[in-house]
Amino acid sequence: MKTEFTTAQRSNPIIQEIEANLRKCVHCGFCLSACPTYSVLGDERDSPRGRIYLIKDMLEQGGAPNPEIVSHVDRCLSCLACMSACPSGVHYQHYIDHARAYVEDHHQRPWFDGVLRAALTFILPYAGRFRLALSLAKFAKPIAFLFGTKLAAIINMAPGTIQKPTLPEGSQIYPAEGVRKKRVALMLGCAQKVLRPSINEATIRLLTRFGCEVVVSKDVGCCGALTHHLGKDDAARDFAKSNITAWSREFEGGGLDAIVINAAGCGTEVKDYAYLLKDDLAFGEAAQKISKLSKDISEIIADLELPSSIPTDLPDVIYHDACSLMHGQGITEPPRQQLRKAGFNVVEIPGRHFCCGSAGSYNLLQPEMAGQLIDRRLGGIDGVLSESSAEIIATGNIGCLVQLASGTSTPVVHTVELLDWATGGPCPENLPH
């Protein structure tokens, strides 16, 4: 792709990197059919190739971006399906992240959007604040209409019940059962431990049952993805540095074989810390080490070789790929193989590479597009339910889990909850016992 950056712009290392990335794009358009927003809107400007052009123009022109370009950048889900489809290796993830940061620094948003984004940044990454906000939203539901359409829609998304924390507060060590095979750190997440604490409980039971000592550090918090996707790169780096410091301390103390992450969106972010902090003299090297140590839970389970079970009366499972796992980390088969090995029959959804519309805080900021995408995904699931004996939906990311559960009465669980159940743990609470 031809670029027209000025000499002064080209002296900026970020522009040099962006230009090198842009030059890989050969305009082939293979990414278009993979893109959820293009498939809904049919507008090239809401496709990966279109966004690449628009962002290039925005950066070449400099200054405040055209609000129309901002709207197309904002509509991108960061689902990364375009990266999976691109034959030329265009790194769309880093490209759109740079674009979001540029918009954040150079664009004055309408006041409501600005306040909403500031509120999300203040609340979502902190479990205590998030829990309080959900409790307030729950009580505000009957009068939500008084707050205007946009805010009412967000208030109405709050779950009906908010579960109390179940794991002890503070740093913990959960010893391995039998011979210790690995010592791993578990990231509990921020939103996940509020919305579905049973996922971390199941993960700890499963890991310890199969020989892992599990370390939880009280100093590890949000991965930073929620702020990163809002263009607030400095805040994302601060979260990354804080987590790197805590895990490095653990690595140098008792040693760590891996950092286990059971929310795919967080895993994609932590695996990218090496890039996020590549120019940071104090944290660059440690960030590389932490990114290398980071594993999705399915990667660790593959190493632990769970025993095969004889299929008994376990229900058939519809498996939903989280974009962050499928496109962000390239993990598709291990969770399916593990579910089959544990005795579940796995049923596929048509168009499985399409995003469900969750995408971090996307469903709060872009409710119309998110609504169309979840309707399409649930329509596909309804078709599968009517033609198969599947009774539950499993996925590997809390955002997808909540998004799917918002529109179906079919129980939605994390893959790890099923694996825990099949190997001796309790049946997940939302399944018929």
Cα Rg, the chain, nearest whole Å = 22
Q: State the minimum distance, in angstroms, from the CB of residue 359 to ligand SF4.
A: 8
Is position 329 an interface residue for ligand SF4 (rule: CB under 6 A)? no
Token reading at 170: 């503070």
Q: Which of 37, 192, 243, 415 binds ligand SF4 (CB under 6 A)?
A: 37
HSE, CB side, 13 Å, CA atoms: give it for residue 53: 9
In the complex with ligand SF4, which residue's Cβ is closer, 243 or 324?
Answer: 324
Instruction: Pick between residue 217 and residue 324 the one whose CB is nearest to ligand SF4.
Output: 324
At closest approach, how far in Å is the CB of 173 from ligand SF4? 39
Site string for ligand SF4, 45-74 (x = CB under 6 A): ---xx-xx----------------------
CA atoms within 13 A on the CB side of 417: 25
Look at residues 358, 396, 329, 398 and name the one whose alpha carbon lies nearest to residue 190: 398
Is residue 22 close enough to count as binding ligand SF4 by CB under 6 A? no
Q: Which is nearer to ligand SF4, 88 or 245 (CB)?
A: 88
Is 400 near ligand SF4 (CB under 6 A)?
no
Token pair listed for 290: 């932490």
* The pairing of beta strand 172-174 with beta strand 212-216: antiparallel
Pick the binder of ligand SF4 from 18, 22, 34, 347 (CB under 6 A).
Answer: 34
Distances (CA, A) of 411 to 176, 183, 308: 30, 33, 24
Q: How far apart are CA 158 and CA 138, in angstroms?
A: 6
Q: Is 356 in the site for ligand SF4 (CB under 6 A)?
A: no
**CB closer to ligand SF4 out of 35 and 286:** 35
Q: Residues 6 or more apart from 201 whose CB is under 8 A from it?
A: 166, 167
Distances in Å between the Cα of 268 and the Cα atoms of 16, 109, 265, 331 are: 24, 28, 5, 11
Rounded to a whole number of angstroms, the minimum distance from the CB of residue 257 to ligand SF4 is 32
Looking at beta carbons only, is 91 or 209 nearer to ligand SF4? 91
CA–CA distance, 395 with 417 (Å, rounded to integer): 10
Give the phi and the psi of residue 295 in degrees, each rounded to 5: -135, 140
Distance CA 344, CA 137 (A): 37
Q: Is 29 in the site for ligand SF4 (CB under 6 A)?
A: yes
Residue 48 or 221 having the CB closest to ligand SF4? 48
Is 344 a binding residue for ligand SF4 by CB under 6 A? The answer is no
Q: Helix %, strand %, coil % for the chain, to 5?
A: 55, 10, 35
**Minimum gap (Å) between residue 323 Cβ and ligand SF4:** 7
| Residues between 268 and 307 that touch ligand SF4 (CB under 6 A) | none
- Under rule CB under 6 A, which residues in 155-174 are in contact with ligand SF4? none
| Per-residue contact flags (x/-) with ligand SF4 for residues 221 to 240, judged by CB under 6 A | --------------------
Per-residue mark of binding to ligand SF4, 76-105 (x: CB under 6 A): xxxxxxx--xx-x-x-x-------------
265 binds ligand SF4 (CB under 6 A): no
Report CA 307 to chain centroid distance, whole Å: 29
CB 66 within 8 A of CB 75: no
- Judged by CB, which is closer to ligand SF4: 28, or 115? 28
Nearest of 30, 25, 97, 35 to residue 327 by alpha carbon: 35
User: Nearer to ligand SF4 by C-beta: 25 or 422?
Assistant: 25
**199 part of the interface to ligand SF4, by CB under 6 A:** no
CA distance linking residue 312 with residue 9, whole number of Å = 64
* Residue with tokens 């990454």, as numbered in its chain: 125
Q: Could you give the 3-state DSSP secondary structure of residue 386?
A: helix
Q: How far is the CB of 357 from ligand SF4 (least distance, A)?
A: 10
Determine which helix (DSSP H) or strand (DSSP E) holds 355, and give its type and residue range. Answer: none
CB of 1 to ligand SF4, least distance (A): 7
Gap between the Cα atoms of 89 and 82, Å rounded: 10
Contact segment (CB under 6 A) with ligand SF4 among 23-31, 59-67, 176-184, 253-261 equals 23-31
Q: Do residues 210 and 249 make contact, with C-beta atoms less than 8 angstroms apart?
A: no
Give yes or no for residue 116 binding ligand SF4 (CB under 6 A): no
* Nearest approach, Cβ of residue 76 and ligand SF4 (Å): 3
Residues that bind ligand SF4 (CB under 6 A): 25-31, 34-37, 48-49, 51-52, 76-82, 85-86, 88, 90, 92
